[in-house]
Structure 1
C-alpha cells in the first residue's frame, strides 16, 4: 500500500492511493506517484479549506459524505466543485445545510429589491443631485428621506384620518340636517330609508368643508407626484397604490357634487346604486394608510412572509373548498328527511362554509343525530385548517424578520464606516501610520544613477583640488 501525504492549507493528511481510487473520476483519484522520486512517500499540496477536506477524505474512507453544520453551504458547493465530487454522494441528513444558502440568497435578494424600491430617485441623466424635482419626489414619496418629508407624511396621515372620520360621520342621521327640498316628491320612487336619508338630508357645513378640503388636498398631492415622478407615466398610473388614489379622487369629484345637487330626474333605485358604488369606492381611501405602514420594517416582513406563503395558502384554500363541497353535499342528504332546512345542496355549502370558519350564524342547523355528527366533523376539520396557515406564516415571518434585521444591521455598519472615513482629514492616516517604501526597478535604477552622479562629482572636485594644489606649488617655487 503506497502512502500519500496531502498538505491541505497547512494541515497534513495521510492516506493511500487505494483509498483515493474508491471514488473514480475525481481530482484525488487522479493523483499519481512521481516515479522519478524513489523510496519516498508521495506528497501533494492543495491550498484549500482543511476543515471541509476532512469530510471529503471520509467519503473515500467510508463511502458517506457528511459535512459539519457550522459551514456555509456556498463553501461546501465550492469545495465539491474543486474536488470534482458529485452531489449524489451527499448524505440526506446534510441536504438542509447544503441547500440552505440558496434559500437565504433568495430571501436576501427579495429584501434588497424591497429596499431598492423605497429609494427610487430621479435618474441622474434627467436631473442633477439636489434639484427641485428630486427634492419634491423624495418629500412626497419617502418619509424617511428627510425631516421635512417626515413632517409632510405626518400631515398626510392626519388628513387621511380626518377624511375617514368624515366618511363615517356622514352616515349618522343624528348630525345630518334636513334640506329645503320636498321629501314627498321622492317618497314615490325611493326604496330604502338609507336612500331617503341622502335625498332629504345633508351633512353640516363644517363636515362639508372638511370633506372638500381633504379631496382638494389629495388631488393636488396626486398631481404633484405625477408631475415629478421619475417613472414613466404608464408605470406610475399602473402602480396599485396610485390606482387606488386615482379611484378615490375620481369617486370624490363625482360623489361630492352629486350629493349637493341631488338630481330630481334620477329615481330612487338608480340613486341607491350610485350611492352604494361611489361610497364603496370612497372607502378605498383607507388604503392610504399603507404609505404610513410602509415605513416600518415589521410591515415589510409581513408583506414578504405573505408572499412566501402564497403557495401554501393556495393549497390550503383548494383543500378547504374540497372539504366544503364534501360536507355541504353530505349534510344535504343526511338531513334529507327535514323539509324545512337544507332545501338544496347550495344551502349545505353555505352551512359548511360558516361552520368550518367557526362563525356559526345558526340560520341553518342540522336536527338529526347523523347531521350533528357531520357538523362536529365539519367544525373540527375547519379548526385544523385554520391552525395550519398560522404556523406557516409564523415560520416565514421569523425567517424574514431575522434576515431583514441582519441585513439592516449590516447596512448600518457599512454606512457608519463610510461616514467615519469621510470625516477623516486628508493626510491624517500618515500621522499615525508611516508609509512603507516599496522598491521597484525604477527606484533602484534612479538610485544607482544618483550614486554614480555623486561619485563623478566627487572625482571632478578632487581632480580640481589636485590641479589647484599643483598650480599653487609652482608659483612658490
Structure 2
C-alpha cells in the first residue's frame, strides 16, 4: 500500500478494527490482505465499499457480528456459526472475506452440509474470485492478438473435450464417445459367449491377434481403440497443466483401458507362431478383460457417475468407519459361529463352519442380507446367533448411510450447478 497511514481502520458494519499496515500484508483473510497490494484509491474501492483517506479508514457494508466471529477465528483458529444466524448467510460472509467451508469446525461443517442439501444451494468460490479480482480478467484480455487468439482456441478445444455441456460440438463429441464405449462393451460381452467362441475357432484354425482385424469384431475393436487413443492425445495436448492431467483419476482409467490393446498386439508380434498359445494364456485374457475400464469412461458424460465418485472421495471417513464396523462384527460373529456349530462337537459338528475364515464368509452374506444358502447354521444356538447377526448387520450398515446420503445430495447439486453455470457462460459468450 503506497498511501495512507501506518495504521489501517477496518469499518465493518459500523464496528471498527485498527490494524497495523504490516499485519494487513499477511492477514489470513484474502480480502483484507489484498488492501496491502493496492496502489491507488481506485484499486482500494474495488476491494472495499468506501475509503476515507484522512483517517485511512476502509468501509465494508457487511454483517458486523459475522465478521466478529471471523476475527475470533483469526485470533484463536476456531470458526463457528453465529447463533441465531442462517448458516448460508454466514457462509456467504465467509466466502466474501476469503474463507472456505473447510475452515469451519467439524460440527458446523455438518450443519452447513445439511442446510445446503435441504435448500439445494451451492456457493461457487470461482464466481467469488471472479467478482473479487476484476483486474485479473482485464489483464487476461489485453495480450497480443495472436497469442490471445491461440489461447482462446486452446481454451475452446479444452472445453469441447472436457465439458460435454459446454457447446453443441462438445455434446456431439460426447455422444460419439458414449457410442464407442457402448459398442466396445457389447463386443467384449459377446466375445465371451460360447457360440461366438465356437464360430471363431471354426473360422480359422490358427488365429493371430493381429489377423483378427480382418474380422468385423477386430475391426470394430481397432476403430474404438483408435478413437479413444486420439481423444486422449488431443485432451493431453490442449490441457492447461500436463502434470495435473496425468494425475487425474479419469485420465489414469483411460490409460488403463487403452494400454492392454497395444500390449496384446506387442505380445503377439513378439511370440510369433505361438499366438494361439498366447491367446489362451492367462496374461492375454487378463489384458483383454481390462477393457471393462471403458465403462468408467462414461463418468465424463454422466452427472450421476461423477456424483458417485465425488461422494466416495468426500465420504472416505464414513466408508472406512463402515468397513471397521463390518470387520469387527465379522470377527465376533465368525468366532461365535465356529464355536457353536463346530467347536463344541468336533465329531458331529457342521463342517461348513470348520474354521473362523469360513464362518466369516457366512457372517458377511448374512449381515448384508444376501443369504446364498450355501452354508447355514443347523443348531439352535447357531440359528439364534444367525438372527442376531442379520439384525446387527442391518443396524450397522444403516448408521453411516445418513452422512453419505447428505454428501451425495450436496455433491449432486454442486456438480449440477457447475454444469448449469458452464452452459450459461457459453450461451452468453455465443450471444456476445
| Fold-level similarity (TM above 0.5) | yes
Report the Cα offset of residue 359 of structure 1.
1.7
Structure 1 position 211 matched with structure 2 position 196? no
Structure 1 position 239 matched with structure 2 position 259? no
Q: 1:98 to 1:51 in 2, by over 3 A?
A: farther
Residue 349 of structure 1 aligns to a residue in which SS? Answer: helix
1:181 counterpart residue number: 205
Q: 1:213 to 1:363 in 2, by over 3 A?
A: same
Distance 1:98 1:287 in 2: 31
Q: 1:129 to 1:164 in 2, by over 3 A?
A: same
What pairs with 1:382-401 in structure 2 (closer than 5 Å)?
Answer: 382-400=393-411
Retained in 1: the 8 A contact 2:338–2:359?
yes
Q: Which runs of 5+ in 2 are unaligned?
A: 1-12, 15-60, 67-81, 95-105, 130-139
2:237 counterpart residue number: 227
Retained in 2: the 8 A contact 1:305–1:393?
yes
Find the partner of 1:289 among 287, 298, 303: 298
Report the Cα offset of residue 100 of structure 1.
4.9
1:311 counterpart residue number: 317
Q: 1:235 to 1:301 in 2, by over 3 A?
A: closer
What pairs with 1:140-159 in structure 2 (closer than 5 Å)?
Answer: 140-159=161-180
Distance 1:283 1:261 in 2: 25
Q: 1:154 to 1:50 in 2, by over 3 A?
A: closer
Report the Cα offset of residue 278 of structure 1.
0.4
Report the Cα offset of residue 322 of structure 1.
0.3
1:168 counterpart residue number: 189
Distance 2:125 2:333 in 1: 45
Distance 2:311 2:297 in 1: 21
TM-score, normalization by structure 2: 0.59
Distance 2:204 2:415 in 1: 60
Q: 1:343 to 1:111 in 2, by over 3 A?
A: farther
TM-score, normalization by structure 1: 0.54
2:39 counterpart residue number: none
Distance 1:73 1:136 in 2: 38
1:322 counterpart residue number: 328
Q: Which has the higher helix share?
A: 2
Q: 1:245 to 1:70 in 2, by over 3 A?
A: closer
Distance 1:70 1:279 in 2: 55
Retained in 2: the 8 A contact 1:73–1:100?
no
Residue 400 of structure 2 aligns to a residue in which SS? Answer: helix
Residue 157 of structure 1 aligns to a residue in which SS? Answer: helix
Report the Cα offset of residue 309 of structure 1.
2.6
Deviation sequence 1:134-158 (CA, Å, 0-9, x none): 3332222222222212211111111
- What value does the CA root-mean-square deviation take over the aligned residues? 4.8
1:334 counterpart residue number: 340
Retained in 2: the 8 A contact 1:248–1:285?
yes
1:348 counterpart residue number: 359
What pairs with 1:66-145 in structure 2 (closer than 5 Å)?
Answer: 67-68=83-84, 74=90, 100=111, 112=125, 127-129=147-149, 131-145=152-166
Deviation sequence 1:437-466 (CA, Å, 0-9, x none): xxxxxxxxxxxxxxxxxxxxxxxxxxxxxx
Structure 1 position 378 matched with structure 2 position 399? no
Retained in 2: the 8 A contact 1:138–1:149?
yes
Q: 1:99 to 1:169 in 2, by over 3 A?
A: closer
Report the Cα offset of residue 103 of structure 1.
8.9
Residue 377 of structure 1 aligns to a residue in which SS? Answer: helix
Q: 1:243 to 1:67 in 2, by over 3 A?
A: closer
Q: 1:340 to 1:274 in 2, by over 3 A?
A: same
Retained in 2: the 8 A contact 1:331–1:371?
yes
Distance 1:198 1:363 in 2: 42
Retained in 2: the 8 A contact 1:127–1:133?
no
1:250 counterpart residue number: 259
Structure 1 position 367 matched with structure 2 position 378? yes
1:272 counterpart residue number: 281
Report the Cα offset of residue 51 of structure 1.
11
Distance 2:393 2:208 in 1: 42
Q: 1:113 to 1:273 in 2, by over 3 A?
A: farther
Residue 222 of structure 1 aligns to a residue in which SS? Answer: helix
